[in-house]
Chains A and B, each alone.
Chain A
Amino acid sequence: MNSLSTMKQENSKNNSLIDNLSSQLSIINWSNPLIRIVLLGISSILLYIVISFPLDYKMQFIFGVAFIILSSYISRKFDNRFAVLLVMFMSFIMTMRYFYWRFTTTLEFESSLEAVLGYLLLSAELYGLVIMLLGYFQNSWPYKRESVPLPSDENLWPHVDIFVPTYNEPLSIVKITIVAAKLIDWPEDKLHIYLLDDGNRPEFKKFASELGVNYIARKDNRHAKAGNLNNALKESKSEFVAIFDCDHIPCRSFLQMTMGLFFKDNKLAIVQTPHYFFSPDPIERNLKVHREVPNEGELFYGIVQEGNDLWNASFFCGSCAVLKRKPLEEVGGVAVETVTEDAHTALKISRLGYNLSYLAIPLAAGLATDSLFAHVNQRIRWARGMAQIFRIDNPFFGKGLKFGQRICYSTAMVGFFYGVPRVLFLLAPLAYLLAGLQIYQAFALTVFSFAIPHVVMSQIAGHKIQAQFRHSFWGEIYDTLLSPYVLLPVLVALINPKLGSFNVTKKGGQTSANDYFDLRIATPIIILLGLNIFGLFYGTIHKIVLENGDVYTSLLNLVWVVFNIIILGACVFVALEARELRSTPRVQMTLPAAIYLPNGKTIFCSTTNFSSNGFGLLLPEGCNIPAGSTLSVGIFRGKEESIITAKVKKGGNELGLEIEKISQEDLIKLVNVTFSRADNWAKDWGNNRRASPLASLKELMGHGVVSPKKLLNLRNLNKI
């Protein structure tokens, strides 16, 4: 105990010392350009020394391990920005040492075939390096924005148009969004809702007029969603425009939370909020890790956007955002040159010197793409679009952008070019195992001593930066799965941005009634997996057992192949589509409810989940209600109660109710207490379980081919 207290004292002593130091450092005028140049000079020299200092492989290994221990200690023990920076720089130095060594010693090839393959691998590694460095820059200090209160005088609040574009989505989905939009807390005379139906469907028109919202339809579908929005811009006139995809349901407080920012900053053009998905994306669903392992979106909206925001480079993501009409019209409306109109629009607005912002409070929720096929298509579109922007409006060039903005925009775009490097990584070890080609000219132990610290520390740093928003190695699955598909579109778009077609992301459809295996998606992955497995066996037997190769080099390549197999294995199981029972998406939510039985009795219970045409109830223990009866159910939100009549589809203690022929009024009531509740999504935000890189790897392996449980599922293959 004593020693503990003295330790604390020492700590506080240290702290005061640090405080002293930091107060002195704060005096320095850090924005003085001269100081910056001097610091840059000193840093470059110091970095050059540390990076280029030659160590033999044993010393390098000791050095690497020392820093792995140090950085994981710092990473566990401290949780502040400074610790993140420390870990980042450690990883940066290890990586740069690796690349310095790679460039200076591993490129002396013996034949031109080896040289060609070797340089290909090197360029793939360089891509990874660039992404890592850009990522470190981008995420160096995520800017945590808070919402700004609106002026108390409601007369000062501006008019807002709400656009809900739709093309082919079913009315059942669009309905809820429109209703939720109508429920947004804003003076009724200043809120103008537009249903933009590119499908030109009469039932949508009817629904709009019933609900009293504006309906705009076009004769043609030129420029798809962008054209749709631009058309609507012409027919509306409010100072601000909020845009929601037809499956993104806004909550009531959306405008209250976002509009304040515009009052604070008159150069502000966009407020973007996260896209929150209450349904799992296909990868989560197929691996059954929804709410367990964070998905791609959570990484983007949890960390990346905030990181971008620091550099004034947060993106407009096409939905769940408020835009100022003036800047939007100055850039000629939503961009139509590329298939990712949202990012391009933000870039254009940015070039005019307007500010962008990102508010990390989920204020709308929607459906994730529901099938792997659609998911892949969506990513292909994004990748293509980003490549198009990179090609026709490269953020590195052109006027109006600050350095940080150029870096962040480029990161977003270059980040989609992972197709080629990823496939190269998946094939590279086979060059040695199958053909005996030394495309990496180095002594295997030296490779270990440089590559292990580099890889491990980038994982530690990645974990430190993304902790609750992305588990280590899971990104590999997303990237690996998509790499064969984005490869070609990106290359095509880079060569000729006009080639290729636009495909709409299909959402809200019904996935198959049975688990089924999506061969369309899985074929390239299965080929890659097959090659790697073949390489593993051939390499083990030919190189190790029959002693035809250098043991260390073979081991190095075998370890690599095994890692590839784990990732590819998980990808194959992603392609095994899980059953989705309901035709409409469902959201888990527990609310107090009361069942008013025909006999006058009331059962107090709670809801379990909601969809647009039904909900689940959990009765108190012992209570059972048979299927088939029609119940009148009151659902409470604070003191408000909405009474809905629904039919019991599934009886018992846990009821499944379906609202047949829901009336306009009931729908509004239901949405009011469910989807449009302001506190719905925020509480789940960023609350994912954290997992250390090692634990994460273990989980990942559980989803690879090594899992017997998964292997059993293989019988489903027969059902195709």
Chain B
Amino acid sequence: MLKIPLLKNRFIKTCFFSFIYLIPTSSFFIEPTTVFAKVNTNQENEKQVTSLPKNETNKNSLIPVEQRAPHILTFQKLGIESPIVLRGIESEQNINFKIRSDEVVSSAKLNLSFYYSKQLLSELSQINILMNGEPLDAINIEDGFGGQRINKTIEIPKELVSDNNILTFQLIAHYSKECEDPRDSRLWSVISNHSTIEIVSNQFVLQNDLQYFPLPFLDAQDVKKSSVPFVFLNKLGKTSLESAGILASYFGSISTNNNIDYPVYFNNIPNKGNAIVFLDSLETLNSFNNSSDSSNSDSQLLIVSNPSDQNGKLLLVYGKNPEDQKTTILNLISKSSKLSGNLAVFTSKPLMEKRRPYDSPAWLQSEGPVKFSQVYPNLNSLNASSYGTSTFPVDINLPPDLFALTNKNNGIKIDIKYSYDEPNFAKGQSAKFIISTDDQIIRATTLNSSSKNNFFENLLNPTNFFKAKSEENVRFLDGTLSTHVPVEQKNSLLKLKPSFNYNYSNKMDCVNNLMIASTKQSINPNSTIDISNLSHFIKMPNLAVFKTHGYPFSRMADLSDTSFIISGDLSPSLVKSYLNVLGWFGKSIRFPAVSMTVNNENEVDQFKQKNLIIFNNSSNSSKLLNSWDINLDTGNVSDTYLDKINRLFSKLLKEEPDPVNSTPNFNQTDVKANILEFQSPLSNKNTVVLFSFNSEDGYKLIDDIFGESDELSGKVYGSRTVVTNQSKFSLSDKSEYYLGSLTLTESLYFFLAKYPFFFVFFTVLVILFLSIVSYYLLRDLIKKRSNAGKI
């Protein structure tokens, strides 16, 4: 019998722990978390379903398979990019890790490697380790071991492990029994990010029930690379490609950390594991479904075990014609949380809400002010208690094409309401509230007690003016700050860092053995960030924003403006790349591409007004590309005379050279694939991205690029990325164009900013105009004056 622990609501509230929970995030280091401003409520539901309920009532659904080989997660893999440094008298840091929902941990251990300061007092200091809020172990500080690397292995009781786990390291540090400065530099401990969590788990096979979908095909929370095979037992038409693409993008959109690969099989089913199977023959369907009451409906969605692997599952997407398959897929996506049983039949397409531009859940919503409560991952992170400094970092994804003029009053509008413990001015304390981003301080303001409110308060009660401030009546004050964060198109990830900074005078009194008292700060969740007044405008081609945001295709989150054109013979590798790109789209938009279409290259009328993504094998001579005269050779790009002048001016004025290297060195025969972006020859408002594959290797390389690994994505920019076995080059050799629109003033400013010398000329013209007008007006007046009162 299996015993599955029920953990989620079990908190032992000892005195010690209640203390920790009162101060949930000690503030020295708060792990930055990427946040998406608006979480789709549907997805919320789906998430609940994907995390499998592991209680007794459900145990029948689990069939144990085999014990998996222990897998080892380094902290680094869990997103801790640098060693964990704990400083100060009390500090803590959390590490999140997840266990696949269809796995149950049989044993787990923690291999720690750490250092601590030599000056820590052994009797007062320790490092507590907590697992999901419950004490796991404590590392006692021992004299004589300070400053040395110490390794320690800690067994984690399997009852403490759940699907989503928080591992907490908490340093309690003292260097003196008497008066201490809680920020003293002697108070530190470092935990290596090469420390590991070793997990041995059992995997279970689920029953054939759609209620677990997307399990077992995909565990959205997995950190490992997943593989979802797609099998096509029917002839691949454009509608089948659409169905498969939509499903691939759906998987992408719900996966949080993992990268998904979509191997493609034509007419055969993999011997092992799970697969999504598209089929249009009823006989074939019945051959899988030997047990069942075969219904005669035109479309079915059926989950069965893999005939050649009892542990594997097949999701059969049956449709007599491809449209039926698409209907099934769309229903599967939109109703996945309501399905149950092993069979589902859908007859009509679900109603899909029409998307508005820029409403991708991956981006900050641009239709009005967005509250911080929607921006920050959890509201607890908006409160802090600290000695000296507290930071409230948050990463905000912005639409990549935001445009603002460079002066200060344009940009992302931020209205912050905050509260803070009043610094004790009488003792020489002062405090600042600072809003900064990764690379610059946006605004700093001194926190005053003599703020307006207090002044008027004091007016009402004049004796307050003369009252000395005592320790007891420290007030919790409110403040507001409005500012604009400049928009930088190069970096659409806004790393916003509101922070409080208290300064203390050198002479400090001791209270409760501490030189400085802990202070509380908080940011009101009703603070707002607003990009609704900003224009969308961006210089194209720009493969960098294509790679990072899927822009401009992602402007409509459901890709309703996008058409995929696959020219030439469909090979499994080509379809695989197609599915990988769609999976990647889903992941970057966080929304499935339910409205995208696949077209043949001769259906020009249907994709005339659309953004195009073209997959082309260079062995195939595409009529469309030939008619557009697209040159796929990457010869040396020669600068025109005009280019040289432009470069000279940009060197003189902007000092930032174009990041694109103009003369790449590679052998033409090494080129395996090209990614090109250019303005659609069919419509000047649309963009074409062309994937051109020269060899079988090309497919793999493109899959690697879009199957993520961030070091590769950095090399994709400009108008063309040339992919060879060894490396990638990007260049700008296509004529530039602009997407989006500006207000009248902005476009004028943009024009003048682009040609600064024209601005001087323009100013001269304005001055001439004004002078001429006033000259004649004044001359007119002079005439009138000389005729004044003439008799």
Measured CB to CB, the residues of A under 8 A from B are: 25-26, 28, 30-31, 36, 39, 42-43, 46-47, 49-50, 52-56, 58-59, 63, 66-67, 70, 81-82, 85-86, 89-90, 93, 104-105, 108, 110-112, 140-141, 143, 264-268, 309-310, 312, 355
- Interface pair B769/A46, CB less than 8 Å apart: yes
Docked complex Cα distance between A267 and B408 (Å): 55
- Chain A residues lying within 8 Å of B772, measured Cβ to Cβ, are 25
Docked complex Cα distance between A264 and B448 (Å): 69
- Interface pair B789/A265, CB less than 8 Å apart: yes
Docked complex Cα distance between A67 and B766 (Å): 13
Q: Taking CB as reference atom, which chain B residue is nearest A105?
A: B408
Docked complex Cα distance between A218 and B636 (Å): 103
Is B749 an interface position by the 8 A CB rule?
yes
Q: Taking CB as reference atom, which chain B residue is nearest A63?
A: B760
Docked complex Cα distance between A632 and B335 (Å): 128
Docked complex Cα distance between A412 and B644 (Å): 57
Q: Taking CB as reference atom, which chain B residue is nearest A25?
A: B776
**Considering the complex, which residues of chain B in the window 735-791 have a beta carbon less than 8 Å from any beta carbon of chain A?**
745, 748-749, 752-753, 756, 759-760, 762-764, 766-782, 784-785, 788-791
**Residue among A47, A105, A111 making CB contact with B770, cutoff 8 Å:** A47
4 new A-B contacts at CB < 8 Å, known A25-B772, A39-B773, A112-B450: A30-B776, A43-B770, A85-B771, A104-B407
- Chain B residues lying within 8 Å of A82, measured Cβ to Cβ, are 771, 775
Per-position contact with A for B407-449: 1 when CB-CB < 8 Å, else 0?
A: 1110000000000000000000000100000000001111010
Docked complex Cα distance between A581 and B745 (Å): 68
Is B406 an interface position by the 8 A CB rule?
yes
Is B15 an interface position by the 8 A CB rule?
no
- Interface pair A89/B767, CB less than 8 Å apart: yes
Docked complex Cα distance between A89 and B782 (Å): 20
Docked complex Cα distance between A309 and B786 (Å): 11
- Interface pair A86/B771, CB less than 8 Å apart: yes
Is B468 an interface position by the 8 A CB rule?
no
Q: 5 smallest A-B Cβ distances: which pairs? A: A265-B789, A54-B407, A111-B446, A30-B780, A85-B771
Docked complex Cα distance between A59 and B654 (Å): 10
Is B405 an interface position by the 8 A CB rule?
yes
- Interface pair B745/A81, CB less than 8 Å apart: no
CB distance from B175 to the nearest CB of A (A): 32
Per-position contact with A for B641-681: 1 when CB-CB < 8 Å, else 0?
A: 00000000000010000000000000000000000000000
Docked complex Cα distance between A268 and B787 (Å): 12
16 contacts between A and B (CB under 8 A): A31-B784, A53-B753, A55-B756, A81-B775, A81-B778, A82-B775, A93-B767, A104-B408, A108-B483, A140-B778, A141-B779, A143-B782, A309-B785, A310-B785, A312-B785, A312-B788
Docked complex Cα distance between A56 and B756 (Å): 11
Is B140 an interface position by the 8 A CB rule?
no
A25-B776, A66-B760, A264-B791 known; A112 vs B451 contact (CB < 8 Å): yes
- Interface pair A267/B782, CB less than 8 Å apart: no
User: Which of B432, B748, B775, B778 is packed against the most chain A CB atoms within 10 Å?
Assistant: B775
Docked complex Cα distance between A108 and B432 (Å): 14
A86-B767, A89-B770 known; A54 vs B785 contact (CB < 8 Å): no
Docked complex Cα distance between A143 and B780 (Å): 12
Main secondary structure of the interface of A (DSSP, over half): helix
- Interface pair A54/B405, CB less than 8 Å apart: yes
- Chain B residues lying within 8 Å of A312, measured Cβ to Cβ, are 785, 788
Docked complex Cα distance between A503 and B725 (Å): 96
- Chain A residues lying within 8 Å of B777, measured Cβ to Cβ, are 30, 36, 39
Docked complex Cα distance between A39 and B444 (Å): 44
Docked complex Cα distance between A59 and B407 (Å): 13
Docked complex Cα distance between A697 and B731 (Å): 56
CB distance from B149 to the nearest CB of A (A): 41
CB distance from B459 to the nearest CB of A (A): 15
- Interface pair B763/A28, CB less than 8 Å apart: no
Docked complex Cα distance between A82 and B784 (Å): 19
A110-B444, A112-B451 known; A86 vs B768 contact (CB < 8 Å): yes
Measured CB to CB, the residues of B under 8 A from A are: 405-409, 432, 443-446, 448, 450-451, 483, 653, 745, 748-749, 752-753, 756, 759-760, 762-764, 766-782, 784-785, 788-791
Docked complex Cα distance between A89 and B766 (Å): 9
Q: Taking CB as reference atom, which chain B residue is nearest A101?
A: B407
CB distance from B366 to the nearest CB of A (A): 23
Docked complex Cα distance between A310 and B778 (Å): 9
- Chain B residues lying within 8 Å of A89, measured Cβ to Cβ, are 767, 770-771, 774
Q: Taking CB as reference atom, which chain B residue is nearest A110?
A: B446
- Interface pair B778/A26, CB less than 8 Å apart: no
Q: Taking CB as reference atom, which chain A residue is nearest B452?
A: A112
- Chain B residues lying within 8 Å of A141, measured Cβ to Cβ, are 778-779, 781-782
- Interface pair A90/B448, CB less than 8 Å apart: no
CB distance from A591 to the nearest CB of B (A): 37
Docked complex Cα distance between A312 and B789 (Å): 12
Docked complex Cα distance between A281 and B405 (Å): 54
A46-B770, A143-B782 known; A266 vs B745 contact (CB < 8 Å): no
Docked complex Cα distance between A123 and B780 (Å): 36
- Chain B residues lying within 8 Å of A266, measured Cβ to Cβ, are 789, 791
- Interface pair B766/A50, CB less than 8 Å apart: yes
Docked complex Cα distance between A355 and B762 (Å): 41
- Interface pair A49/B745, CB less than 8 Å apart: yes
- Chain A residues lying within 8 Å of B766, measured Cβ to Cβ, are 46-47, 49-50, 93
- Chain B residues lying within 8 Å of A54, measured Cβ to Cβ, are 405-407, 749, 753
CB distance from A103 to the nearest CB of B (A): 9
CB distance from A451 to the nearest CB of B (A): 17
CB distance from A251 to the nearest CB of B (A): 26
Docked complex Cα distance between A604 and B791 (Å): 52
Q: Taking CB as reference atom, which chain A residue is nearest B410?
A: A54
- Chain A residues lying within 8 Å of B769, measured Cβ to Cβ, are 42-43, 46
CB distance from B727 to the nearest CB of A (A): 36
Docked complex Cα distance between A312 and B788 (Å): 10
Docked complex Cα distance between A122 and B774 (Å): 29
- Interface pair B770/A59, CB less than 8 Å apart: no
Docked complex Cα distance between A67 and B776 (Å): 24
- Chain B residues lying within 8 Å of A110, measured Cβ to Cβ, are 432, 444-446
Docked complex Cα distance between A59 and B752 (Å): 12
- Chain B residues lying within 8 Å of A310, measured Cβ to Cβ, are 778, 781-782, 785
CB distance from B749 to the nearest CB of A (A): 6
- Chain A residues lying within 8 Å of B771, measured Cβ to Cβ, are 82, 85-86, 89
Q: Taking CB as reference atom, which chain B residue is nearest A30?
A: B780
- Chain B residues lying within 8 Å of A39, measured Cβ to Cβ, are 773, 777
Docked complex Cα distance between A282 and B444 (Å): 51
- Interface pair A143/B791, CB less than 8 Å apart: no
Docked complex Cα distance between A57 and B527 (Å): 33
Docked complex Cα distance between A559 and B762 (Å): 33
Docked complex Cα distance between A310 and B784 (Å): 9
Q: Taking CB as reference atom, which chain B residue is nearest A31?
A: B780
- Chain B residues lying within 8 Å of A42, measured Cβ to Cβ, are 769
- Interface pair B749/A53, CB less than 8 Å apart: yes
Docked complex Cα distance between A713 and B772 (Å): 52
- Interface pair B748/A26, CB less than 8 Å apart: no
- Interface pair B759/A265, CB less than 8 Å apart: no
- Interface pair A140/B774, CB less than 8 Å apart: yes
Docked complex Cα distance between A581 and B711 (Å): 91
CB distance from A273 to the nearest CB of B (A): 18
Q: Taking CB as reference atom, which chain B residue is nearest A90?
A: B767
- Interface pair A93/B408, CB less than 8 Å apart: no
Docked complex Cα distance between A388 and B768 (Å): 40
- Chain B residues lying within 8 Å of A85, measured Cβ to Cβ, are 770-771, 774-775, 778
Docked complex Cα distance between A31 and B753 (Å): 37
User: Which of B407, B762, B763, B771 is packed against the most chain A CB atoms within 10 Å?
Assistant: B763
Docked complex Cα distance between A93 and B748 (Å): 18
**Residue among A55, A63, A86, A267 making CB contact with B789, cutoff 8 Å:** A267
CB distance from B764 to the nearest CB of A (A): 8
- Chain B residues lying within 8 Å of A46, measured Cβ to Cβ, are 766, 769-770
CB distance from A637 to the nearest CB of B (A): 35
Docked complex Cα distance between A144 and B482 (Å): 54
Q: Taking CB as reference atom, which chain A residue is nearest B409?
A: A104
